[in-house]
Amino acid sequence: MDARELSDLVAHGQVDTLVHRLAPLNEKERKLLVPGVKQMLDYRNRSQYPEWPLAVAVLGTIGGERQVARALENMWNLHVLGDHGVRVLRDRSPHWLPKLPGALLASEARHWNLVRQLVREGVVEMPDEPEYLIWMVWGVVAPNAFQAHQGCAARDGLLADPGLLDRELWLMLATERVGRQLTTTDGSLREFYDTFQKSKIPMPTRTWWHALVTLAAEGRLERGRLLDAALAAPLRDWAPSDVTWFVGLHDALVPTADEVLDRQATYSRLLTCDHGPAVKVAQKCLTPVLADDRLDVDALLSASHATLARSDKASVLAQLSLLKKLVKVRGVTEAAVPAVQVALDHPRPDVRERARALLDDWGVAPPDSAATLEFVAPEPQPLPAPDAVVPVADPDELAELLLRLLEEADDPIAIERCFDGVLRFGGQTSAATTAVLLRRAEESQLWGLDPRRDLAVVAKAWIVRPTWRDRFRKSAGAAVSATFGAGPHEGSLAWFHQARVAELVRLAAARAAVPLALPTHADGSIEAGTLAERLGGLPKGAAAGSLDLAVALLRVPPQDLSEDLVPRSARDGWVTGAIRLLRDWSPEWERVRGESKSRWGYGTPEPLVTFRDRKPSREKAGAVGQVADRSNALAGAGWDRDMGVWETRYEQLVAWWATYFPHHPDLFAAHLHPTMVGDLTHDRGLGVPVLDSLTRRRPGPVESSALVLGLCAKDVRVRTAGQDALLDLAGHGLLDGPELGRQAVAHLADGTVVGQRLSGSLAAAVVDDAAVRPVLETLEVLLPATGGRRDTAAFVELAAELVHRSGRRIAVPPHLVALAESRSSSVAAKAARRLL
Amino acid sequence: MVTGTEQTYSYLRPSAVTFADGRTDVLLATSGGVTSAGAAAHPAFFDGFLGHPEQTSAALLAVAKVARTRFYTPPGMLAAILRAADPVVTSNGDRLRFESFSACCGVYARLDLLPGALEGPALDTGTTNVDFNPPMREALARVGGIDPLHLMVGEDVVVTTMDGAVTEKKVPLPERWLKGFAEVQLAAAGMQPAFEVAASEARRFLRSLPSSTGRKPLWVVQSGRALRLTTRPTPDGVCISGTDRLKPLEPLLRFARTLRAYTGPHDPSGSGGLWELGLEDARLLLTLSPDVSRGFSGEGGVLWDLADDQASDDADLVSALLAFEPTIDPARLSTEGGISEERVLRALGRLGASGRVGYDAAESAYFHRELPYDAERLAAMHPRLRDARALVEAGAVRLEGEVGFVRSGDAEHVVRRTPEGDRCSCPWYGKHKSSRGPCKHALAVDLARRGVTWTPES
């Protein structure tokens, strides 16, 4: 036989002849045919050759189990191969044949049917690999899966190979990862898509469930063994996705009372499972046999502890009902009490109430719980003084600090110390570390809004006088190279920041600048006296950056600001205006809502909420005035929001910017509102530094709004930071509960925030007693707005719990009074009754 | 490139659980390890009844679950091969300890069955692997609270070798896994108690934890009687990155008595934490790495000790004095070995890095156990130390007073000695500072310094 004959036989589909002609060849002769087979396998020639004769040629010529598996990788329908594959391998009997099943099952196409034929014909042993049993799920149904007239794909597949029912089926049902394969396969078999009618035809009879249940009903499968297999799966410590199918099979088998009692130990153990549906199965099956004397009540009660310690509501309530019935029919009150007491620790108050009611019915007093201890609201604590900031001492320290921050710019005060040092030590460098720093700064390939990029540029400017080209690049605005679209809006924080960095590079190059903006305290503030000293020390002709001065003025407490701080020589027109603006800062904030498109101008518009100043100052105040002007707050808000979503180091920038506004958190929060709205749907954690900056004074509407957005963020860290901020404010007696409530109502009313997240965050915050009263005040404002909302129950439950805990009453809105007086048994109605 | 070795477990027969005559018999087959008499192929440590059978079964399942779990999958690793190593059991005479380590190298679990849980003495002391096969796990899940539980860790070899059959399984164990398993003890040794709460608060808090918190760490702090999360780094709290890593404790919450937490040295970027669930006559503890994406293998806390030749000699001396004690008394070892307590502690750190002692935070003491892996491989796997030695041998280190200069590639890095520790100008130090042990340059300078000034008398 030569390559041409082989090619002709394959091309004409003469498989019997092919098998016959291949049979007498030895391995050497087969090897000579391999190039021809590989040519046929080439993707350019594949369409000329039918798949299954080509597969026979592969099996008859190519050597090595992995090589064969690889050659068959793109052939997906080898179940039509018939016995030709087995015949050709039996004739050939290569030494690698025992390893072939493993290699085939590991390949992408799997070829379970070919492996099965080899096993069935006794050519190879059943593979040890679990893949043989996992891929059996699809392999059995594959021949019939795509034919609508085959009404029982799985059943027919099993009956066509009855040997499977004796051994493989039972092993399959005990193999990990089979469950998810069965779920997927049954999901695809359950409905047939009719391409002509373009509709889905329900065909449940094609599934494995149907096959096993009907075969058991006909006596072809042992029903008891099948039931045991279904019950064993949840106890095998498998992933939930592997268990769900078995729970469904159990339900489809509909066990009788005798069958349940025969397996009562297993059903009792199911009550201790992690898998909720399995617990439900046990509860459903055990409930009808509670009165039967054969039931082992002790085992059931012992297992009930685990069920009642679960954190979900449904299974615990169902178990309480089950125990109620058990006590009624078997009179085992004393033994049931310890189990029911477990539910008294449940996180949901309605579950705890049900457990308490059950104990009341049985005449048992519930044990004293911690919640019944007397509530004492803690005294507000004074605000701690922020740590002092120590400037860098020498160029060596500066170089080391820059080296550290170039790797992780996670400390805003350290960045400010670097900026200060770069100006103070202009012209001096560290003898030991300069070369390493310059090399690292030049190596840094950083893009976008990244503080490390700013530090690299500044470090280079410190060490090497920037060329005109570098200075031009910075002054032209880094945003042009940072983003492929428009740059930041004038007056935005990103714009302000980039202008400041560009100015710093210029000042560093001048080598004679005096730094002004280094905070004296870790919260970003500068003592007025210190700034006056810095300004007074300006030598003649020395440069002071206008943006450096603007940042410094923002950092001085407004009450300490006066024109006298600034020497006449440095008192430009904008300086006086900026000082007046910041000293007399009294914006009239108004919540505004708009929409933003992506920065590239396409995509679905996304909602934006921010605050505008209805009466902006008309003072000429330079960059300070531009940053403080929030009259057109929605302009550039979409850009800000998108930066938050896309820029990977934006959180570090936000933390840095927070140090610009230690005395104007409202202005900072107003700027960051678009970013915080982005946090509601993206888990980027950008709100954390914003929320951390809100804790040093009594929050107004803007800060309260930011707090609500933080409490409702998608990212857990932001929600936790919101709770931290709330607790800090409450602990210092600064939290304005009613204002927080008003902002929450506004955000809930237009669907900006998710109510469940808000109630969850508030509930998490009140583990600290300091937050109880302010949160109750928040809820008092919020509850009237809950009418008709689906999340009413969560707020009412929380309010009822806090009223109970603090002993303080709140005004209950009429719709909740009506609900409480109705006959409703909803969670909200029960909570409203507790609230009254 | 990930380097690794293949661990071959060889069991006389699979572990099994049998239910008969109202009692449950658990046979844990053993493979390799060390006993009081030396190395053994299939040691037998315990044969007796256990108290609290349901609790013990659930705790054993939790330990096995940690071994089978990868809590973090690196980006790009779509189909990670998960081959779980079998748990390690140590008999300290009066107690049994079951240890496992997650596939991601970030979570260490240990179940301590304390003297009250064992209704009978241990047959021997030592450490071995135990087979935790799927049928075994399934059977353990069926153990109820009212069935007596009979446990055998290993069995009489004469009885079970009649048919000569041996169950073997091969598990590839990456070097970083082996190293992390050893080093986690040193991380635990540096932790301090942070708080302890009652069972009801433990249940409330652990159940209320979000399933995922992203990669950045949070801290758990005590607020009155309750626990809560915070984003603020605090030395009073316990850092936690990846709250799902505490999920293995959940099935045990119904048996919990207390929850105690220990925190590593304060680091605002995140530090390790140890969570200990107090049970009836038992403790289940989880030690978590500082970051979900960061395994214990790269922590490098032991590098200073490993670089110290004196600690090496002391370790040899101390190891000869160990006898699988449940708690190691440094004072006793100091007296018996004739070296200071400080040197004993350094020697124990070095032994910990080679898997020869563990640390029991509840007792604030090391305990003796020998991980049943190749000890020489465990001690040799420290690339930073290897590189530092290479730098010294290549003459790349120059000392000028308190400052060291290390030429590495094209750059010359500067290592300064400060009261807070050595500071280096390399990017690695810039990123991690001292939180993950010294960089190779700082180690090289240390080696060079000691090479110049160290004498046996000093």
Q: Which of A332, A241, A322 is nearest to A281 (CA)?
A: A322
What residues have CB less than 8 Å from A516, skipping those under 6 apart? A531, A534, A535, A544, A545, A548, A549, A551, A552
The pLDDT of A436-445, averaged and rounded, is: 83
What's the pLDDT score for residue A748? 95
| Residue of A697 and B161 predicted with greater confidence | A697
How many CB pairs below 8 Å do chains A and B form together?
A: 134
- Helical (H) or strand (E) element with A190: none
Residue A448 has pLDDT above 60, yes or no: yes
Q: How big is the CA angle at A618 (ends A612 and A622), to the nearest 5 degrees?
A: 95
What's the pLDDT score for residue B124? 87
What's the pLDDT score for residue B82? 55
The residue of chain A nearest to residue B229, with distances taken between CA atoms, is: A720
Residue B2 has pLDDT above 60, yes or no: no
CA distance A226 to A216: 8
Q: In the structure, what pLDDT confidence band is assigned to residue A731 with cuts at 50, 70 and 90? A: very high
The residue of chain B nearest to residue A765, with distances taken between CA atoms, is: B228
- Helical (H) or strand (E) element with B151: strand B149-153
Q: In the structure, what pLDDT confidence band is assigned to residue B1 with cuts at 50, 70 and 90? A: very low
Residue A718 has pLDDT above 60, yes or no: yes
- Give contacts of A268 with chain B, Cβ < 8 Å: 144
Q: In the structure, what pLDDT confidence band is assigned to residue B378 with cuts at 50, 70 and 90? A: low
Which among A406, A720, A721 has the least Cβ separation from residue B430? A406
pLDDT tens-digit readout, B181-198: 888 888 898 899 999 998
The residue of chain A nearest to residue B209, with distances taken between CA atoms, is: A716
Q: What is the mean pLDDT of chain B?
A: 82
Min Cα–Cα distance to chain A from B296, Å: 21
Largest CA-CA distance found in chain B, in angstroms, rounded: 78
Q: In the structure, what pLDDT confidence band is assigned to residue A129 with cuts at 50, 70 and 90? A: confident
Which residue reads 């070369």 in tokens? A435
Hey, which of A198-212, A360-374, A724-738 has the most confident mean pLDDT?
Answer: A724-738
Q: In the structure, what pLDDT confidence band is assigned to residue B161 with cuts at 50, 70 and 90? A: very low
Integer CA distances (angstroms), B46 to A720, B97, B126, B127, B310, in order: 47, 12, 11, 12, 38
The residue of chain B nearest to residue A273, with distances taken between CA atoms, is: B141
| Residue of A626 and B382 predicted with greater confidence | A626
pLDDT tens-digit readout, A405-419: 999 898 999 999 999
Put simply, the answer to whether B144 touches A269 (Cβ < 8 Å) is yes
The pLDDT of A458-486, averaged and rounded, is: 61
Count how many Cα atoms sit within 13 Å of the Cα of residue A213 in the half-sphere of its side chain. 17
- The DSSP code sequence of A154-184 is HHHHHHHSTHHHHTHHHHHHTSTTHHHHHHH
3-state SS class at B28: strand
CA distance A624 to B133: 69
- Give contacts of A726 with chain B, Cβ < 8 Å: none
Q: Does A329 touch chain B (CB under 8 A)?
A: no
Q: Does A760 touch chain B (CB under 8 A)?
A: no
Q: Tabulate helix, strand, coil % of chain A (nearest 5).
A: 60, 5, 35
Exposure class string for B79-90: b at 16+ Cβ within 10 A, else e: eeeeebbbbbbb
What's the pLDDT score for residue A471? 56
Count how many Cα atoms sit within 13 Å of the Cα of residue A584 in the half-sphere of its side chain. 14
CA distance B326 to B365: 9
The pLDDT of A764-768, averaged and rounded, is: 90
pLDDT-wise least confident of A109-123, A472-486, A737-751, B99-113: A472-486
Q: Quick one: what percent of chain A has pLDDT higher than 90?
A: 51
Put simply, the answer to whether A408 touches B431 (Cβ < 8 Å) is yes
- Give contacts of B168 with chain A, Cβ < 8 Å: none
Put simply, the answer to whether B231 touches A720 (Cβ < 8 Å) is yes
- Give contacts of A304 with chain B, Cβ < 8 Å: none
The pLDDT of A441-455, averaged and rounded, is: 84
Min Cα–Cα distance to chain A from B324, Å: 33
Residue B411 has pLDDT above 50, yes or no: yes
What's the pLDDT score for residue B33? 83
From the candidates A238, A407, A437, which should be mutated to test the interface with B, based on the most B CB atoms within 10 A? A407
B88 close to B127: Cβ distance less than 8 angstroms: yes
Q: Where are the beta strands (DSSP E) in A530-683?
A: 589-596, 606-613
What's the pLDDT score for residue B168? 64
The pLDDT of B401-407, averaged and rounded, is: 88
What's the pLDDT score for residue A148? 59
Length of chain B: 458
CA distance B192 to B362: 10
User: Which pair of structure tokens corresponds to residue A588?
Assistant: 């009239």
Min Cα–Cα distance to chain A from B38, Å: 36
- Give contacts of B425 with chain A, Cβ < 8 Å: 399-400, 403, 432-433, 436-437
The residue of chain A nearest to residue B55, with distances taken between CA atoms, is: A306
Q: What is the mean pLDDT of chain A?
A: 88
CA distance A678 to A646: 11
Residue B452 has pLDDT above 60, yes or no: no
| Residue of B47 and B4 predicted with greater confidence | B47
CA distance A429 to A438: 11
Helices marked H in A712-826:
716-731, 737-749, 755-765, 772-782, 792-806, 814-821
Min Cα–Cα distance to chain B from A34, Å: 33
Residue A91 has pLDDT above 70, yes or no: yes
Residue B319 has pLDDT above 90, yes or no: no
Residue type, A306: A
Handedness of CA A807, A810, A813, A817 (dihedral sign): positive
Q: How many CB atoms lie within 10 A of CB B339?
A: 18
Put simply, the answer to whether B144 touches A268 (Cβ < 8 Å) is yes
Residue B4 has pLDDT above 60, yes or no: no
CA distance A130 to A119: 15
Q: Does A345 touch chain B (CB under 8 A)?
A: yes
CA distance A29 to A20: 15
What's the pLDDT score for residue B76? 57
Put simply, the answer to whether A345 touches B203 (Cβ < 8 Å) is yes
CA distance B286 to B242: 13
Count how many Cα atoms sit within 13 Å of the Cα of residue B110 in the half-sphere of its side chain. 25
Put simply, the answer to whether B430 touches A404 (Cβ < 8 Å) is yes
Helices marked H in A233-263:
240-253, 257-262
User: Which pair of structure tokens corresponds to residue A634?
Assistant: 């929605």
In the stretch 577-636 of chain A, residues with CB closer than 8 A to chain B read none
A424 close to A664: Cβ distance less than 8 angstroms: no
A776 close to A753: Cβ distance less than 8 angstroms: no
Q: How big is the CA angle at A698 (ends A696 and A700), to the nearest 5 degrees?
A: 120
Please give the span between the terminal C-alpha atoms of chain B, in angstroms, as a whole number: 41
Q: Which of A482, A422, A477 is nearest to A455 (CA)?
A: A422
Min Cα–Cα distance to chain B from A478, Å: 25
Residue A492 has pLDDT above 80, yes or no: yes
What are the backbone angles phi and psi of residue B278, rounded to the nearest 5°? -80, 125
Which among A298, A716, A768 has the least Cβ separation from residue B228? A768
Put simply, the answer to whether B425 touches A768 (Cβ < 8 Å) is no
- Give contacts of B430 with chain A, Cβ < 8 Å: 403-408
Q: In the structure, what pLDDT confidence band is assigned to residue A373 with cuts at 50, 70 and 90? A: low
What are the backbone angles phi and psi of residue B291, rounded to the nearest 5°? -140, 145
Which among B64, B141, B405 has the least Cβ separation from residue A269? B141
Which among B208, B229, B413 has the least Cβ separation from residue A347? B208
In the stretch 130-159 of chain A, residues with CB closer than 8 A to chain B read none
Q: In the structure, what pLDDT confidence band is assigned to residue B48 with cuts at 50, 70 and 90? A: confident
- Give contacts of A265 with chain B, Cβ < 8 Å: 142, 144
What's the pLDDT score for residue B162? 36
Which among B137, B144, B231 has the least Cβ separation from residue A303? B144
Residue A257 has pLDDT above 90, yes or no: yes
Q: In the structure, what pLDDT confidence band is assigned to residue A467 with cuts at 50, 70 and 90? A: low
- What ipTM does this complex have? 0.85
Min Cα–Cα distance to chain B from A309, Å: 6
Q: Quick one: what percent of chain A has pLDDT higher than 70?
A: 93
Count how many Cα atoms sit within 13 Å of the Cα of residue A258 in the half-sphere of its side chain. 1
- Give contacts of B431 with chain A, Cβ < 8 Å: 407-408
Q: In the structure, what pLDDT confidence band is assigned to residue B163 with cuts at 50, 70 and 90? A: very low
Put simply, the answer to whether B223 touches A767 (Cβ < 8 Å) is yes
- Give contacts of B253 with chain A, Cβ < 8 Å: 309
Which among B204, B212, B254 has the least Cβ separation from residue A347? B204
User: Which pair of structure tokens corresponds to residue A260?
Assistant: 């349940």
Residue A146 has pLDDT above 80, yes or no: no
Residue type, A484: F
Residue A701 has pLDDT above 90, yes or no: yes
Which among A309, A433, A692 has the least Cβ separation from residue B414? A433
The pLDDT of A736-755, averaged and rounded, is: 94
The residue of chain A nearest to residue B215, with distances taken between CA atoms, is: A717
Q: In the structure, what pLDDT confidence band is assigned to residue A202 with cuts at 50, 70 and 90? A: confident
- Give contacts of A374 with chain B, Cβ < 8 Å: none
What are the backbone angles phi and psi of residue A80, rounded to the nearest 5°? -90, 5
From the candidates A298, A307, A716, A761, which should be mutated to test the interface with B, based on the most B CB atoms within 10 A? A716
CA distance A286 to A262: 12
Q: In the structure, what pLDDT confidence band is assigned to residue B160 with cuts at 50, 70 and 90? A: very low
The residue of chain B nearest to residue A430, with distances taken between CA atoms, is: B414
pLDDT tens-digit readout, A307-356: 998 888 899 999 999 999 999 999 899 999 999 998 988 878 888 889 99
pLDDT tens-digit readout, B210-237: 877 677 889 999 987 789 999 999 999 9
Which among B137, B230, B425 has the least Cβ separation from residue A403? B425
Residue A50 has pLDDT above 90, yes or no: no
Q: Does A348 touch chain B (CB under 8 A)?
A: no
Min Cα–Cα distance to chain A from B419, Å: 15
What's the pLDDT score for residue B146? 66
In the stretch 193-232 of chain A, residues with CB closer than 8 A to chain B read 232
- Record the pTM: 0.82
- Give contacts of A721 with chain B, Cβ < 8 Å: 231
Indicate the burial class of A558 (C-beta count within 10 angstroms; 0-12, 13-18, 19 or more).
middle
